[in-house]
Amino acid sequence: MASIIDFKIPKAIAKALGLPTSDAQKQQRKVLKKLLKRARFTEFGQKFHFDKVLLNKNVEKAFQESVPIHDYNKIYNDWWKKTLDGVPDVTWPGKIEYYALSSGTSEAASKYIPVTKDLLRSNTINYIKQLISVFAYQEANKKALRKSFLIIGGTTDLQKGDAGWYAGDLSGILAKKRPFWFQTFYKPGGAHRCHERLERKAE
């Protein structure tokens, strides 16, 4: 199994971020097993026998042999399209509530990329890790943590689907789901964006 990441993260940085310092191949295998276990009871996991793949000594090889390569059109038409109708447990456990829209594609049509609750939860964990990691550096300016952070991203205006889901810029979705305790530091902030939208409508 070839490593996706070819370079080694310095141990000091890895320790500060709470990242493993062991080899990339071992960590990738560990992540693959975790993902397979999490998705084994979905339609996708049942179709491609994730349970059997997990029992194989060479998990990565068994996965490659069991799951065919999908481009966007294939996985959307065969699987993700169902989630837009509100069907849960298709390729990932639970019901998809958010979709990231691609900004520009060769086919001139926005692509709907599911954003799961697990992804949003991991994003929150990363916020915490990044803040905590600052204290691991002696030369870091700790006072900066009490200041506001200018975060430039997509709009938090999301379109609502018939099944109750929301779609829009990925950065906008992440901003909308940002932890409440981080909103104090976030600039320009949701209220400011809302004010801007009202002004534009008034014009």
H runs (alpha helix) in the chain = 11-17, 24-39, 43-47, 50-55, 59-66, 72-75, 81-83, 117-133, 170-176, 190-202
> What are the pLDDT digits (tens) for 107-159?
657 899 999 999 988 888 877 777 777 777 766 676 666 666 666 666 778 88
State the Cα–Cα distance between residues 124 and 136, nearest whole angstrom.
20
Residues whose CB falls within 8 Å of the CB of residue 183, separated by 6 or more in sequence, listed in order:
189, 190
Contact 7, 34 (CB under 8 A): no
39 versus 5: the higher-pLDDT residue is: 39
What does the pLDDT read at residue 127? 72
Q: Is 58's pLDDT higher than 80?
A: yes
Contact 155, 139 (CB under 8 A): no
**Considering the entire predicted model, what is its pTM?**
0.71
> What are the pLDDT digits (tens) for 159-172?
899 899 999 988 88
Residue with tokens 């018939």: 162
Nearest of 77, 67, 5 to residue 36 by alpha carbon: 67
